[in-house]
């Protein structure tokens, strides 16, 4: 009998019609940046022999309820235990001005789930791939690195799910890094390698 290959779903935050969600100078738009990263992550996973696809191939925003419906229909078809979801975002500390907060973090739904194991693998690859000195923002109060929240995309999806906040679009240094060739490559690789490591660990 053919073993079911796990399906990796990559979500990219927001859409071309989402207001705000950009660097104060407008050079980085979160919807666009995350779509470029997500497409590259999916492409590399597929090239490496994994089953990966985008949740939102459209460039316009798709509601969170529709995103969750898409994810859960894959879960219903394959079994939630055979699906992993990573939602790719850029962080922001303010609403339109340059801010000082910097760094990388990941979120899971509340409580200990497979999503926490997925997040841990992503944290490990973020520590490895991002430049030395990058602030890795953690919450160890519950014994692991990730922050926990009731984000809809995490809470209302049946599979292992993790949302990454890939540095701050409203911090000048973070934005310059994100837009650099080196920064893009690091963000892509930390996702690809973290996801493959999570699969290796049985998530």
Which residues of the shown chain bind Zn ion in the complex (CB under 5 A)?
Answer: 13, 89
Query: Closest separation between CB of residue 11 and Zn ion, Å?
Result: 10
Query: Closest separation between CB of residue 86 and Zn ion, Å?
Result: 13
Closer to Zn ion by Cβ: residue 50 or 61 = 61
Query: Closest separation between CB of residue 23 and Zn ion, Å?
Result: 13
- The pair phi, psi for residue 26, each rounded to 5°, is 85, 0
Closer to Zn ion by Cβ: residue 13 or 103 = 13
Task: Give whole-number Cα distances, 198 to 11, 66, 115, 145, 201, in Å.
Answer: 17, 26, 10, 15, 5
Q: At what angle do helices 181-200 and 30-47 cross, to 10 degrees?
A: 50
Closer to Zn ion by Cβ: residue 6 or 29 = 29
Query: Closest separation between CB of residue 107 and Zn ion, Å?
Result: 11
Closer to Zn ion by Cβ: residue 35 or 89 = 89
Query: Closest separation between CB of residue 158 and Zn ion, Å?
Result: 22
Helix segments in 12-95, DSSP class H: 30-47, 64-78
Residue 10 makes CB contacts below 8 A (sequence gap 6+) with 38, 41, 42, 52, 53, 54, 55, 85, 86, 87, 88, 191
Closer to Zn ion by Cβ: residue 145 or 166 = 166
**Structure tokens given for 69:** 């419906």
């Amino acid at each position: 009998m053919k073993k079911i290959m796990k399906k990796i779903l990559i979500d990219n935050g927001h859409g071309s019609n989402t207001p705000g969600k950009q660097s104060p100078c407008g050079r980085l738009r979160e919807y666009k940046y995350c779509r470029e990263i997500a497409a590259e992550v999916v492409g590399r996973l597929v090239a490496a022999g994994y089953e990966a696809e985008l949740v939102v191939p459209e460039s316009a925003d798709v509601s969170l309820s529709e995103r969750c419906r898409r994810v859960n229909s894959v879960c219903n078809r394959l079994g939630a235990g055979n699906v992993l979801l990573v939602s790719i975002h850029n962080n922001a500390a303010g609403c339109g001005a340059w801010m000082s907060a910097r760094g990388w973090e990941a979120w899971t739904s509340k409580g200990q789930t497979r999503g926490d194991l997925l997040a841990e693998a992503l944290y490990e690859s973020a520590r490895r791939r991002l430049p030395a000195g990058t602030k890795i923002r953690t919450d160890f109060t519950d014994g692991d690195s990730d922050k926990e929240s009731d984000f809809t995309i995490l809470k209302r999806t049946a599979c292992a799910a993790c949302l990454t906040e890939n540095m701050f679009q409203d911090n000048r240094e973070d934005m310059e890094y994100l837009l650099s060739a080196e920064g893009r490559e690091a963000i892509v690789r930390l996702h690809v390698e973290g996801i493959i490591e999570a699969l290796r660990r049985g998530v």
